[in-house]
Amino acid sequence: MQNQDFKHNSKLAQILAQLREQIKQKYSFMEVCGTHTVSILKNGFRDYFKNKIDFLSGPGCPVCVTAQRDIDKIVCLAKQNVIIATFGDMIKVPGTKSSLEKEQAKGADVKIIYNPLQCIDLARKYKDKKIVFIGIGFETTAPVIAALVQDAYQKNIRNLFILPLLKTIPQAINFLLQSPKVNINGFLLPGHVSVIIGENPYKFINSKYQLACAIAGFEPLDIALAIKSLLSQIKDGNPKIDNVYRRVVKKEGNPKAKVLIFKTFQKCDTYWRGLGIIPHSGLKLLDKYADFDADKNFSLEFEIEEKATGCICGDILAGIKSPLDCKLFGTKCTPDNPIGPCMVSIEGACSAFYKYGLTSINK
Amino acid sequence: MCLGIPFKIEKIEGNSAIGSVSGIKREIDIRILDDVNINDYVLVHAGFAIQKVDEFEAKETLDILREYAKSGF
């Protein structure tokens, strides 16, 4: 159920009522980050601003945008008598024929970790095995994975490998905005990606597309401030990158984290589920760290066959369609039996819509 | 997946710190932050402190909201 907790906070309720009152036409705002999607649904903002603001979920859930072919690659690795170390979100995501969870049931060794540095302990504990860490994430997670690579290099760990699947957000936003199908009036920019990259990498959204942007936190207060900022930028005709999450996001981001990322990775083109190949939107290991690159140290041969399931996750991730437009949503595709990645991840749009009771009935 | 949780730093040894939130203690890597001190609040993602929480700005956000609530937009 949705909370609408803000209704119990009289000041916030008053602010939101003023905001809702001032909206005279319908706007489409994209929340790029999956954690924002959950917060907007959980706190009832979507219902509260019904017919005033359309909240579009963007490509900001790393699990959801991991390509089916990359899941197939992970499954292929899991069959090779290795230990797969992964964040928990990944294990249920279906590839073409299998998932990590299914491989685990068949005997594959899959360990869920919280901190990538746990892989160093695994590599030391299981000296006779190869450990493969599934390196998914955006800029928030990139410095953490970079730290793992640096530690493994310095400690000369020889049985640890990283499958680099890191992606970067500004390039994906730029790609989305080039599509004529996308209709967006403003962006709630991802708070914790911005902790690392700061404000500047988003400037093109103002200069090239004249769209309003607010870097937002995840509490109801933060979302309210972001909506207020977007509305006033539109009203004034003055789009900018307004940072309303200044308690953790600095203009320059986190310089040490950025140095660590670029000491470890280089930009590459990469494939996003639903969006295709986006130039310079991925991070791959520098040649210096080739010995740790799972892509270069394992035989990864499998057929790429993208199975047609009727799932519309691709269009949902691009902000073109809503989970409610999908004929599988809530019937054939549920959190217990997910068909697409947006239903698998707890931060996927479909999973959040399902959890907070949004069905086509209250569309 | 980009979840960040604020922890209060209780102990520091080199690049490693112990932080707590709601009674839960965790080891936190602080290598990508400068000048972390005991009692600081840090935002933690996947075991790493990725930024200090600026208490002045946190208070400022609340003050702005209080102000709006009084005067309107």
pLDDT for the residue A1: 43
Whether A250 and B56 have beta carbons less than 8 Å apart is answered as no
A34 CB within 8 Å of a chain B CB: yes
Residues A343 and A335: their CA atoms lie apart, in Å, by 6
Per-residue pLDDT tens for A242-258?
999 999 999 999 999 99
Task: Tell me the residue type at B17.
Answer: A
Q: Mutation target for B interface from A155, A196, A248: give the one with most B CBs within 10 A.
A: A248
Residues A195 and B4: their CA atoms lie apart, in Å, by 10
Q: Which of A5-14, A76-85, A101-110, B54-63 has the lowest mean pLDDT?
A: A5-14
pLDDT for the residue A92: 87
Whether A286 and A265 have beta carbons less than 8 Å apart is answered as yes
Secondary element (H or E) of residue A334: none
The owner of tokens 């493994």 is: A152
Per the CB < 8 Å rule, is A256 touching B47?
no
When pLDDT is averaged across residues A286-290 and rounded to a whole number, the result is 98
Q: Which of A22-31, A134-143, A280-289, A313-322 has the lowest mean pLDDT?
A: A313-322
Residues A138 and A136: their CA atoms lie apart, in Å, by 7
Residues A168 and A105: their CA atoms lie apart, in Å, by 33
Contacts of A141 in chain B (CB under 8 A): 1-2, 45-46
ipTM: 0.91
pLDDT classification of A73: cutoffs 50, 70, 90: very high
In three-state secondary structure terms, A248 is coil
Per-residue pLDDT tens for A131-182?
999 999 999 999 999 999 999 999 999 999 999 999 999 999 999 999 888 8
B18 CB within 8 Å of a chain A CB: no
Which has more pLDDT, A268 or A362? A268
CATH number for the A10-302 domain, one of 3.90.1150.10, 3.40.190.10, 3.40.50.11740, 1.10.3720.10?
Answer: 3.40.50.11740
Per-residue pLDDT tens for A84-97?
999 998 998 888 88
- Kindly give, in sequence order, each residue whose CB lies less than 8 Å from that of residue A106, ignoring residues fewer than 6 positions away: none
Per-residue pLDDT tens for A172-231?
999 999 988 889 999 999 999 999 999 999 999 999 999 999 999 998 889 999 999 999
Whether A78 and B18 have beta carbons less than 8 Å apart is answered as no
User: What does pTM read for this prediction?
Assistant: 0.92
Per the CB < 8 Å rule, is B43 touching A250?
no
Q: What DSSP letter does each residue of B8-58 carry, written as one string? A: EEEEEETTEEEEEETTEEEEEE-TTSSS--TT-EEEEETTEEEEE--HHHH
pLDDT for the residue A66: 92
pLDDT surpassing 50 at residue A18: yes
Residues A237 and A345: their CA atoms lie apart, in Å, by 37
When pLDDT is averaged across residues A295-299 and rounded to a whole number, the result is 94
All structural domains of chain A with their residue ranges: 10-302, 313-352
A8 CB within 8 Å of a chain B CB: no
